[in-house]
Amino acid sequence: MKLIIFDIDGTILDSVNADDKCFIKTFKDLFKIDLTNVDWNDFKNVTDTGLTIEIFQKWFNREPKKEDIENIKSYFKSLLINHTQQFTEIEKSLSFIKLISIKPDFEIGFATGGWKETAELKCNSVGLNLNDYIFKSSNDHYKRGEIIEFVIKDALKKNNVSEFESITYFGDGLWDYKTTQTLGIDFIGVDFKKNRKLKNMGVEKVIANFVESEKILNWINKKT
């Protein structure tokens, strides 16, 4: 059995621009912190909780309290609600998910650096119910690698197996690629904006969308 894990923003959903704008506006409105010119690649943990921790450490010299994170999460979600019509699937991503979900030798999971509540909001807006799958988020851990490992652990338990034949993670960020290298799992990059950042980092398998499903499946099955 093979395990397929998907990131969400920029991987199966075109949602990064709205997500970034709302995240930046949240910190400006609540804390008067201007994140307009920050590069998320400069942060150690590019997850909503990880970013929040590092922002608080830098600007307030402390870690956020539980109520801080809940307030940020709530405000962030309230902003995102006004952008749900902007969220669209990366071409054929949903049909690809459906395609592999009916295959008995595949298990599917979702591991996002976003918070559970906002990820569900975005996915629900395009008709994807994350409750139908193994799903872990920034609610579970501030490190992306730990989030992915939680998905793997639950998938092993669900299928009553000790290991998978292979594990493939679909992601769009440089941090996604670096995390999979650390974990020693396969990576397929998604570059729907065609900025070639992943290619330039040395990622060999990169797609712009999920149109060529057979080609992607051959990669997963380690066929040329």
| Mean local confidence (pLDDT), 26-37 | 96
User: How many Cα atoms sit within 13 Å of 41 on the Cβ side?
Assistant: 7
DSSP three-state, residue 193: coil
CA distance 46 to 24: 14
Residue that finishes a domain, picked among 68, 85, 102: 85
How many domains is the chain built from?
2
CA distance 181 to 99: 27
Give me the pLDDT at residue 41, please.
Answer: 86
Residues 117 and 153 in one domain: yes
Give me the pLDDT at residue 222, please.
Answer: 83
Residues 68 and 97 in one domain: no
Residues 51 and 139 in one domain: no
Residues 109 and 177 in one domain: yes
Residues 101 and 211 in one domain: yes
170 bridge partner residues: 6, 188
Residues 30 and 125 in one domain: no
Residue 32: DSSP 8-state: -
Confidence class of residue 224 from pLDDT cuts 50, 70 and 90? low
Q: Kindly state the greatest CA–CA separation across the chain.
A: 52
Residues 43 and 120 in one domain: no
Residues 93 and 121 in one domain: yes
